[in-house]
Structure 1
Amino acid sequence: MLLDDSVGVQSTMESITVLDNGCLCCTLRDDLVAAIRDIVRTVEERMANGVKDAAIDGILIETTGMADPGPVCKTFSLDEVVNRYCKIDGILTVVDAAHFLDQLARERPDGAVNEPAQQVAFADKVLLNKVDAVSQEKVQETIAAIRSVNAFAPVVECSLSLKPDAVPVAELVQIDAFDTTKLLTAESEQGDVDLAHGHAHDAHGHDHDHGHECDDPSCTDPSHDHSHDASCSDPECTDPSHGHSHSHSHSHHDTDIGSMVLEIKDRPLDVQSFNDLLSDLLENSVDLYRYKGILAFAQQGSVVRYVLQGVHDMVDISFSGEWPREKPLRTQVVLIGRNLDKEGLKQRFEQCALLPDAV
């Protein structure tokens, strides 16, 4: 089923509920809750009446391009009925390859949120649409701009109007991006899960390494965070992720929205110190879009593991038992937000770690 807030009339189609009164994402909307409750009630009634195939696979919420997904996510945790029957699978963001860079660079009043960057920041997966309408150079520049905002979401290149079947439904659902259990399941099946180096696959099977500097001078992968991306002196360089003074530089697309990884190896964290850091971050939760992590805490003479997941001030920290003896200690926290004090956060995070002999 589909909820759509882009039209101001109430639809009578059985499979679509169009919410009126504008954008459902501007605030925590009672009509969104009512619409989901109606869907749940309808399904229950059909099942009670023995209707064949009464259950539904899911609910798609399609918002306008200016929407903040945060309040929608909050709705799923705050309403008792919605929380009991529904969970968030993931946030998909469609990026227009032909116009995204112009929208990203559009002048805004001081302090105004860059809406295209905000949409990308929330994304668990990005569909880079209309790649057939632009040059490959612009595709790569757009991917680099996406990576500068959100270094972790997979980017799928596509042309939805010409080849809609090229992106299978399995690419769009069952992401389980908000499922803390999935992180631990992947860890048990694949070994140590690295949130910073997790690979994403685009529609052409390319791998994009996320979030860390690349030391290969010949690398042309725009998803790599190169230490020399601020200024590249090579006049022959065609890597759009490098800052250049000529026409394809994306340095003018920089926004105040970005992502980072906090990491500590071989030492557990002090619970109180980390809680203090998290509390300080949540004081400005409106600018903290997404965050997740696997945490190693010292507790009563041992090391235990927690999984962190959050949107704005909606925090979920789940206990996951003792840290597996066969796995090296490594705490990783991914942050995506606005005006992140990266150096300050790294210093505060380092202060959360205990000395090796303190456990």
Structure 2
Amino acid sequence: MSSLVGWNSDAQTLLNHILQSPDHGLKFAIIENEFGDVGVDDGVLKRTSEDQIIEMMNGCVCCTVRSDLVKVLKELPTSKFDAVIVETTGLADPAPVAQTFFVEEDIQKLYRLDGIVTVVDAVHAIQHLDEKKPEGVENESVEQVAFADRILLNKIDLVDEAQLVGVETRVRGINGQAQIERTTHSKIDPNKLINIQAFSLERVVDMDPEFLDTDGEHQHDERVSSVSFKMEIEVNVNKLQQFVSTLISDHGADLFRYKGLLAVKGMDQKFLFQGVHMLFQGAFYDTLWKPNETRDCRFVFIGRNLDRAKLEKGFLDCKTPDVLRFAVGDAIMANVEGGFKKGTILKQWDEGNPYRVKLSDGIEVWAPEDDDAYIKRYA
């Protein structure tokens, strides 16, 4: 068995690309390690029926958590898989992950560490690599680049050539031996990442003489934490997008990574949002809520100086009301271009909007919220 270790904010996109690629013909076991106590990725990874996903909710595959990774690896039915992918968060120190495959005798017998892959965000890489940490706290971003055997320089479509060259120069200054591949949406031939036999214990020990010291200290930045929620609610996606827009505008620099899988009222598709700092993406995707599946909302934020109460209130404010104010057929006034116009309610919860309205001139519009600012009773 070979093992591919990858992390960073774009790793999920890379994983989906690998899992859906017909080129490798491999069956995978995916070990997902979330920084927080609510899992999101298992609901969005597009695995085949033969792939298996295991979630570990510890956030850092290191220190005492290493024993959890060892336990999962030992319990995997290795005869059913060709390769194991360990996907960690962007806050993980890669050394203890790799260390697991060399200091545990039972793991050594079952697995071979094939390579470490790091996805580098071309937009935000420099600020994270140059971030000043408190004394004694290591910079995980630097560690990730240093330990990598393959580096994907991602989001190259969002920066110019001069910035790309600058990031590559900074990365090569940390790790001059790793092969760098430029990518957009983490798309790459999986054969460049799998069965590459790229990990060199000799190189790593030369770089970090204490690599095999299992008693070594590992100190996190105490300002950095995760906030996660799982709520059995449905949300108004219009309110959600407004909330997230305000959040990243005010606190984007401190939001390292955030993602969520949501149940939107009036929609059968699941809504996925994810972002890094000021870059936010949210859309419905092609997975439907099953008839007997609990429609809930899951959110995970990783960042600095997070305010849990404020985040929780923001999401609860997006919850849909149990009953709308207007019924189908009611005469209302809708706020459209040019001011309020008379109309009639055609449908409730249409395409994620509380109301679909037919105006007196025959034009149909949506009311994004059940609020007098958008729609009010006809008097």
Q: Shorter-chain TM-score: which interval?
A: 0.3 to 0.5
Larger radius of gyration: 2
TM-score (norm 2): 0.42
Greater fraction strand:
2
